[in-house]
Protein backbone atom coordinates (compact mmCIF):
# COMPACT_ATOMS: atom_id res chain seq x y z
CA UNK A 1 0.00 0.00 0.00
CA UNK A 2 2.81 2.40 0.82
CA UNK A 3 4.46 1.83 -2.57
CA UNK A 4 1.29 2.88 -4.39
CA UNK A 5 0.92 5.97 -2.25
CA UNK A 6 4.50 7.02 -2.95
CA UNK A 7 4.00 6.30 -6.67
CA UNK A 8 0.86 8.44 -6.80
CA UNK A 9 2.54 11.30 -4.96
CA UNK A 10 5.57 11.22 -7.28
CA UNK A 11 3.34 11.02 -10.37
CA UNK A 12 1.26 14.01 -9.23
CA UNK A 13 4.39 16.02 -8.47
CA UNK A 14 5.83 15.25 -11.92
CA UNK A 15 2.56 16.11 -13.62
CA UNK A 16 2.38 19.38 -11.72
CA UNK A 17 5.95 20.24 -12.69
CA UNK A 18 5.40 19.31 -16.34
CA UNK A 19 2.09 21.15 -16.74
CA UNK A 20 3.62 24.33 -18.27
CA UNK A 21 5.60 22.25 -20.76
CA UNK A 22 2.56 20.17 -21.68
CA UNK A 23 0.50 23.34 -22.16
CA UNK A 24 3.11 24.68 -24.62
CA UNK A 25 2.84 21.40 -26.55
CA UNK A 26 -0.91 21.89 -26.94
CA UNK A 27 -2.20 19.51 -24.31
CA UNK A 28 -5.15 21.05 -22.53
CA UNK A 29 -6.47 22.70 -25.68
CA UNK A 30 -7.50 19.57 -27.57
CA UNK A 31 -11.04 19.04 -28.85
CA UNK A 32 -12.91 17.39 -26.01
CA UNK A 33 -11.16 19.32 -23.22
CA UNK A 34 -13.80 21.31 -21.34
CA UNK A 35 -13.21 24.72 -19.84
CA UNK A 36 -16.16 26.40 -18.11
CA UNK A 37 -16.15 29.87 -16.56
CA UNK A 38 -18.91 30.47 -14.05
CA UNK A 39 -19.34 32.91 -11.17
CA UNK A 40 -15.78 34.19 -11.51
CA UNK A 41 -14.26 30.72 -11.36
CA UNK A 42 -12.81 28.57 -14.07
CA UNK A 43 -13.37 24.83 -14.16
CA UNK A 44 -11.24 22.64 -16.39
CA UNK A 45 -11.86 18.99 -17.32
CA UNK A 46 -9.21 17.62 -19.73
CA UNK A 47 -10.95 14.55 -21.19
CA UNK A 48 -9.00 14.31 -24.45
CA UNK A 49 -5.65 15.21 -22.93
CA UNK A 50 -6.11 12.56 -20.25
CA UNK A 51 -6.92 9.90 -22.83
CA UNK A 52 -3.92 10.87 -24.97
CA UNK A 53 -1.49 10.83 -22.03
CA UNK A 54 -2.90 7.51 -20.83
CA UNK A 55 -2.42 6.00 -24.27
CA UNK A 56 1.16 7.28 -24.51
CA UNK A 57 2.08 5.99 -21.05
CA UNK A 58 0.50 2.61 -21.79
CA UNK A 59 2.52 2.32 -24.99
CA UNK A 60 5.73 3.25 -23.15
CA UNK A 61 5.12 0.65 -20.45
CA UNK A 62 4.28 -1.97 -23.07
CA UNK A 63 7.46 -1.23 -25.04
CA UNK A 64 9.78 -1.30 -22.02
CA UNK A 65 8.45 -4.42 -20.31
Show the 3-state SS of the chain.
CHHHHHHHHHHHHHHHHHHHHHHHCCCCCCCCEEEEEECCEEEEEEHHHHHHHHHHHHHHHHHHC
Q: In sequence order, what are the residues at sequence separation of 6 or more whose Cβ sits closer than 8 angstroms to the Cβ of residue 29?
A: 23
What pLDDT is stored for residue 39 in this prediction?
92
Q: What is the pTM of this model?
A: 0.65
Mean pLDDT by 10 residues, the chain (65 residues): 86 82 82 90 87 90 88
Amino acid sequence: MLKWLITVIVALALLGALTPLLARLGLGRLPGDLRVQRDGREYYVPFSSTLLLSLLLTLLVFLFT
